[in-house]
Structure formats: structure tokens, C-alpha cells
């Protein structure tokens, strides 16, 4: 929480300081024109790169793949657009950095390494979903943690333990290695 508080207090203070310093150097109207111009340029960049990213997502989905990189690029572009529409020189600078594909890839690689090191990340598709009972009904497509031990029999169709729905593999196991 302190980092978030620092961002919400620190960024506006830096922006105000930059407005004052740059305004003294180039004047009020040139400062305001620069802010409006960066918003216009950011909107044009967002449109061009956003449409290209959407096209990449559609192509990857049509091939049956998972467009993780393209979706990450889209998220970065969304943040970049929001930063460029926010008046300020620091937010504009960070927003323009997010439009550079090489920097986005580097940021994405760093973020992925950080998540792998510090968080438990599991991604499951609907074909890998396990079945779950709620109020005696089986619901397909929901995810949950599989407890150790034999599966409970399904009273409705008479299936015994370990019959019926596939069990989710534990960490380190592949789908074929699941119990």
C-alpha cells in the first residue's frame, strides 16, 4: 500500500513541478499546446498500434493459439493511451515509452520473471476444467483446488472414486501425468 500511496501523491507533485519548470522555459501557451499535442499524437499512435495488436490477437486465435504476447501488448497500449490523455510531462513520457515495442517486450519479460519468482500462476483452458459439485449438481467449466485423496463418488450417476471428471495435475506434472 505505501507504494500506491507514493504513486498517487508523488506523480501529481512531479507533474506540477514539471509544469512550473517547463512553463518558465517555454511559456504558458507553448506548455499547454505541448500537452494537447502529446494527447493528439498519443491517440493516433494508440489507434494504429491498437488495431495492429487486435489483428495479431485475431490471427493467433484463428490459428488455435493463445495470444498472450498480443494481449499484453494491448494492455500496455491501453495504459499508454490513458497516460497520454492525462495532462502531464511525466505521464506522457511513460506513455510514449509503452508505445515502443522493444521496451514493451523487455518490460513483459521482466514482469513474467517477477511473477514466476514471486507468485503462483496457473492458467487453465476450458478443456482442462474440472467438474465441481454444488448442491448436488455438477457444474462444468469451473475451477477449484483439487484436494489430495480419492475423489468423492458422484451420487447421481453412480461413478466411483477417480471415475468421471479428469483430475487437474499438480504443479510440476503435465496433463498426461495427472492421477
Structural domain includes residue 144: no
Q: How many domains does the chain have?
A: 1
Structural domain includes residue 136: no
| Helices and strands of the chain, counted as H and E runs | 5, 2
b/e map of 113-149 (b: 16 or more CB within 10 Å)? eeeeeeeeeeeeeeeebbeeeeeeeeeeeeeeeeeee
Which DSSP symbol is given to 139?
A: E
d(CA 130, CA 109): 30
Structural domain includes residue 4: no
pTM: 0.61
**Mean pLDDT (the chain, rounded):** 77
Structural domain includes residue 23: yes
Q: Encode pLDDT of 72-87 as tens digits.
A: 999 999 999 889 888 8
Amino acid at each position: 500500500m505505501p507504494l500506491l500511496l507514493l504513486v498517487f501523491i508523488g506523480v501529481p507533485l512531479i507533474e506540477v513541478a514539471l509544469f512550473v519548470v517547463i512553463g518558465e522555459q517555454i511559456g504558458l501557451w507553448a506548455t499547454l499546446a505541448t500537452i494537447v499535442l502529446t494527447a493528439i499524437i498519443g491517440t493516433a499512435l494508440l489507434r494504429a498500434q491498437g488495431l495492429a495488436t487486435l489483428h495479431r490477437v485475431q490471427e493467433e486465435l484463428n490459428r488455435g493459439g493463445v495470444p498472450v504476447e498480443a494481449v499484453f501488448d494491448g494492455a500496455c497500449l491501453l495504459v499508454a493511451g490513458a497516460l497520454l490523455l492525462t495532462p502531464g510531462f511525466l505521464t506522457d513520457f511513460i506513455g510514449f515509452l509503452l508505445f515502443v515495442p522493444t521496451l514493451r517486450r523487455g518490460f513483459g519479460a521482466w514482469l513474467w520473471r517477477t511473477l514466476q519468482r514471486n507468485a503462483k500462476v496457473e492458467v487453465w483452458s476450458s478443456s482442462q476444467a474440472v467438474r465441481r459439485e454444488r448442491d448436488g449438481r455438477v457444474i462444468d467449466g469451473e475451477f477449484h483446488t483439487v484436494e489430495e485423496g480419492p475423489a468423492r463418488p458422484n451420487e447421481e450417476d453412480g461413478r466411483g472414486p477417480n471415475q468421471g471428471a479428469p483430475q487437474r495435475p499438480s504443479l510440476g506434472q503435465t496433463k498426461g501425468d495427472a492421477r
